[in-house]
Structure 1
Amino acid sequence: MRYTPDYLLTDSDEVKRLIRENPWATIVSATASGIVASHYPVVLDDDADGISIVSHVGRPDERAHELGQHEVLVIIQGPHGYISPGWYETDDFVPTWNHVTAHLYGTPEILSDDENFRVLGELVDHFEERMPEPMSLQIDEQVARHVATGTVGIRISITRFDARAKLSQNKAPEVVERIVAALDSDGPYSHPGLAAEMRAAVVRAAEMGAAEMRVAE
């Protein structure tokens, strides 16, 4: 991503939150045959140190990506949307696109069949817990294990990440308030999720400013 210091997201806890709330990831590999990209759900491995994610790919994607042989890029895309200059109420007429995005890097570890099945079960349980009558792979483990043979489980311990939270930090507070109000409305380009990220960014900036003042004292 373009290097923009004002938008850097360096807090690993915030990156973890981004992964939890936006689990549909893009996995990109530079292979001997060229660049390969696939899309799969990921979940955090909370038992690991640092940032670690687990997922699976459908066969034969593990061969297409040459998984385990090299580093891959995992892209997490959070809320994003068009920002109209019509919301600024200033002379600025240039639009932009706000977003929260993380690029994660690591070399996948191929899971054993048993661990893959366990991870698949946890993945289903993770997403089913919101349902009034959650489904589970344990309903028929034999059938579920047969389906699981068509997948390959992976764990990626993230060795580095490059994340951005571009949320109109370069605008005056009153302009940011108008943008948030527009995103929260039912008008064109409304996006409550992006509005929430912008509010959170304002809070983070205020907390950082207060912390810096305490250190200076």
Structure 2
Amino acid sequence: MRQNTSFAMTDVGEIRRLIDQNPWVTIVSDADQGLVASHYAVLLDEGRDDLTIVGHVGKPDDLVHGLGERELLVVVQGPHGYVSPGWYGDVQSVPTWNFVSAHLSGIPELLTPEENLEVLERLVARFESGMPQPRLMWQPPNDPDFVRRLERGTVGFRLTPTRVVGKRKLSQNKPDEVVETVIAELETGGSPYADPRLPGEMRRDFETRKAAR
């Protein structure tokens, strides 16, 4: 991802927030057969305060990616959406796409079966927490044999990235009144190609920048 000083996101806390709120990531590696991509959920490593993430892949994706042997690129995609040039007023302009994203690169560490079980348990608990009647991993009708067979079909990993590129492109290069207009249009559904969380992300960034002036 090409970096741009105006849109750079370097604050570790903000990138952690991005990962936590957007755990469904794309994992890319340069494999023997060429570039390969997979999609999995990840979590921040609860024992760290940096950008270390934990997750798993299903077998044989571990072999396809050469997990633990070669560099991975993990793409975290936050809120994004189309911005119409009509929202800028009667000036020369072109369409654009606002977004928040981060790329984490490094060689992952493979987890032990017990560590992998802990990660799988955390993943289930995280995403079942919003269900009316959460079904946790060890809860009946699952039994320990079933859960351990499930674990053996996956490979867990921990990635402490050695390269991080974070980008927050939210109309920071536009006048305040234009930013307000874009936010208002997104809030009212003016873009059919926008994550509904995008205007809130823009508003948060806009208020932070104004407070820092």
Q: If the length of structure 2 is used for normalisation, what is the TM-score?
A: 0.93
- CA distance in structure 2 between the aligned counterparts of 1:124 and 1:37, rounded to whole angstroms: 23
**One-letter amino acid of the structure 1 residue matched with residue 204 of structure 2:** A
1:173 aligns with one of 161, 176, 195? 176
Residue 113 in structure 1 maps to residue 113 in structure 2: yes
**Residues 23 and 76, structure 1, Cα contact 8 Å, conserved in 2:** yes
Deviates more, 1:140-149 or 1:99-108: 140-149
Letter in 2 for 1:85: P
Amino acid at match of 2:180: E
Structure 2, unmatched stretches of 5+, are none
**Retained in 2: the 8 A contact 1:184–1:191?**
no
Query: Deviation of residue 64 (structure 1)?
Result: 0.5
Q: Partner of 1:193 in structure 2?
A: 197
Instruction: Quickly say closer, same or farther: Cα 1:115–1:16, change in 2 above 3 A.
Output: same
- CA distance in 2: counterparts of 1:111 and 1:46, whole angstroms: 15
Task: Give the C-alpha shift of residue 117 in structure 1.
Answer: 1.1
Q: 1:159 Cα deviation (Å)?
A: 2.1
> Aligned pair count?
209
- Larger deviation: 179-188 or 51-60? 179-188
Report the residue type matching 2:170 in the other structure: L
Alignment match, 1:54: 54
Identity of aligned residues (%): 47
**1:56-115 CA distance string (max 9 Å, x none):** 001001011001112211000001111001112231331111110100012111111111
After superposition, residues 110-189 of structure 1 pair within 5 angstroms as: 110-139=110-139, 140=142, 141-189=144-192
What does 1:38-117 correspond to in 2, within 5 Å? Answer: 38-117=38-117
TM normalised by structure 1 equals 0.91
- Distance in 2 of aligned mates of 1:52 and 1:124: 19
Q: Aligned partner of 2:145: which letter?
A: Q
CA distance in 2, matches of 1:174, 1:102: 28
Deviation at 1:150, TM superposition (A): 1.0
Q: For residues 191 and 70 of structure 2, what CA distance do their matches in structure 1 show?
A: 43
Contact 1:50 1:158 in 2 (8 A): no
